[in-house]
Amino acid sequence: MIKPIKINMNVSETNTLKNNHQPRNQFTHLKRRGAEILMLGFNDVSEATVSRYLRSFKSNHPDKKKQQSWMTFLKNHRNEISAMDFFVVPTIGFKILYVFFIIDHKRRIIRHFNVTSHPSALWVIQQLRDAFPFDQVPKYLIMDRDKIFSPRVKGFLERQLGIKPKVTSYRSPWQNGIAERFVLSARTDIINHVIVFGEDHLRRLMKEYIDYYNGDRCHLAMGRDSPFGRKIEVKPFEFSKVKSIPKLGRLQHRYEWKKAA
C-alpha cells in the first residue's frame, strides 16, 4: 500500500495543479487525477494525498463576499426568477443546432424552448415575446455573457417586458446553476442516446422531453415531485400490480398502479 507523502512542489506548481484539476472537470475520477500527477514525475503519490490537495480548492468564486451575495439573491427572490440559456447539439451531418430554453426557478418548469441553426438577438427577442405573456412576467431573468444576449435583448427585457436582466460573472456557470442542471438532465436523459437528423427532429425530441420533464420526471430539489406536480397514488387493491409507462421511446419510464386487480 502506498502511503500518503508530502509532495515537494513550489507554490506556483501547487496552484497550477489545483486550478487545472479541480474546477474544470469535476467529474474526473480521483484515480485519473492521481494518474495525471504521476505522469508529471511525482512518484509514490497516494490517492489520499491527491484528495487532500484538491479539497483545499472549494471556492466557487474568488470573492467570497460576491459568492454569498449571489446565493442570497437567489434564495430571497427564488419565486421571481427565471433563467435562459443555450446549449448545442450536433446532427448526423455535423451541423450544429442551438437549443434555447427558459426555466423558472420556483418549480423548475421549462416555460419555453425552441431550436435554431442561426441564433441572433432578434430571434431571442421573438422567443421572449412568445415565452412571457404580460400577466406572467418574472421580476428577474438570469443569463450568461453570451454575445447573443446583447444590449438590444436586455433593453427589450427592461423597456418592453419590465424584467430586470441579471448577467452572471465571467466564467461562473454556477451562478446559473438551475439552467446548467437542466442541460445536464436533457443530455443524460435523451440527447446522448439518440442521433439527431435535423432541426425538426431535434425540436420534436425536445418537445417530448420537456413534456416528460415538466409532468413526469421527479426532482430531488422539488421534494421528489415533478415541476407540474404529481399526486401520490394509493394502492387501489391488495393484489394490484405496478405498470410501467414508457416515455421517450422507452429511455425513461413512469410507474403507476394498475386500476384493475
Cα–Cα distance, 53 to 6 (Å, whole number): 10
Residue range 174-193: mean pLDDT, rounded? 96
Is residue 88 one of the residues assigned to a domain? yes
Q: What CATH code is carried by the domain that includes residue 102? A: 3.30.420.10
| Per-residue confidence band for 49, with pLDDT thresholds at 50, 70 and 90 | confident
pLDDT of residue 260: 66
Please check whether residue 140 is in contact with residue 178, taking contact to mean a CB–CB distance below 8 angstroms.
no
Asked, for residue 182, whether it belongs to a domain, the answer is yes
Average pLDDT over residues 38-63: 65
CB 108 within 8 A of CB 219: yes
Would 3 be classed as within a structural domain?
Answer: no
Owner of C-alpha cell 391488495:
238
Q: Which of 116, 93, 181, 91 is nearest to 142 (CA)?
A: 181
* Angstrom distances, CA of residue 215 to CA of 151, 212, 238: 35, 5, 28
Mark whether 212 and 257 lie in a shared domain. no
Is 251 part of a structural domain of the chain? Answer: yes
pLDDT for residue 209 is more than 90: yes
Residues 202 and 113 in one domain: yes
60 located within any domain:
no
* Together in a domain, 25 and 115: no
Q: CA-CA distance, 168 to 171, in Å (whole number)?
A: 8
Same domain flag for 197 and 74: yes
Do 197 and 118 lie in a common domain? yes
pLDDT of residue 249: 93
Contact 113, 102 (CB under 8 A): yes
168 and 214 part of one domain: yes
Instruction: Answer yes or no: do 212 and 90 share one domain.
Output: yes
User: pLDDT category, 4, cuts 50, 70, 90?
Assistant: very low
Amino acid identity, position 39: M
Q: Is the pLDDT of residue 51 over 90?
A: no
15 SS3 class:
helix
Rg of the chain (C-alpha set): 23
pLDDT number for residue 6: 46
Indicate the number of domains in the chain. 3
pTM value is: 0.76
Please tell me whether residues 237 and 141 are part of one structural domain. Answer: no
pLDDT surpasses 90 at 30: no
Per-residue pLDDT for 5 more than 50? Answer: no
Pairing state of beta strands 96-104 and 81-90? Answer: antiparallel
Q: Return d(Cα 184, Cα 179) in angstroms, integer.
A: 9
Average pLDDT, the chain: 85
Rounded mean pLDDT, 212-240: 90
Query: Is residue 2 predicted with pLDDT exceeding 50?
Result: no
Give percent of the chain with pLDDT exceeding 70.
Answer: 78
The reply to whether 42 and 75 lie within a common domain is no
**Predicted confidence (pLDDT) at residue 54 exceeds the cutoff of 80:** no
Beta bridge partners of 244: 255
H helices of the chain, where? 11-21, 30-38, 47-55, 64-76, 121-131, 151-156, 177-189, 199-215
Mean pLDDT over residues 55-65, rounded? 57
Q: Is residue 6 part of a domain?
A: no
Same-domain status, 245 and 123: no
Residue 32 shares a structural domain with residue 100 = no
Q: What is the DSSP letter of 40?
A: T
Q: Is residue 5 one of the residues assigned to a domain?
A: no
| Span 110-127, pLDDT tens digits | 999 999 999 999 999 999
Alpha carbon separation from 25 to 32, 39, 110, 243, 251 (Å, rounded): 11, 18, 27, 39, 27
At residue 27, the pLDDT reads 42
Q: How far is CA 11 from CA 4, 15, 21, 137, in A?
A: 19, 6, 16, 50
Grouping H, G, I as helix, E, B as strand and the rest as coil, residue 3 is coil
Segments forming the whole domain that contains residue 257: 231-261
- pLDDT of 176 reads 96
* Percentage of the residues of the chain whose pLDDT score is greater than 90: 62
> Is residue 1 a part of any domain in this protein?
no
pLDDT given at position 62: 57
Which of residues 255 and 65 earns the better pLDDT score? 255
pLDDT above 90 for 67: no
Q: Are 166 and 211 within one domain?
A: yes
> Mean pLDDT throughout 219-240?
89
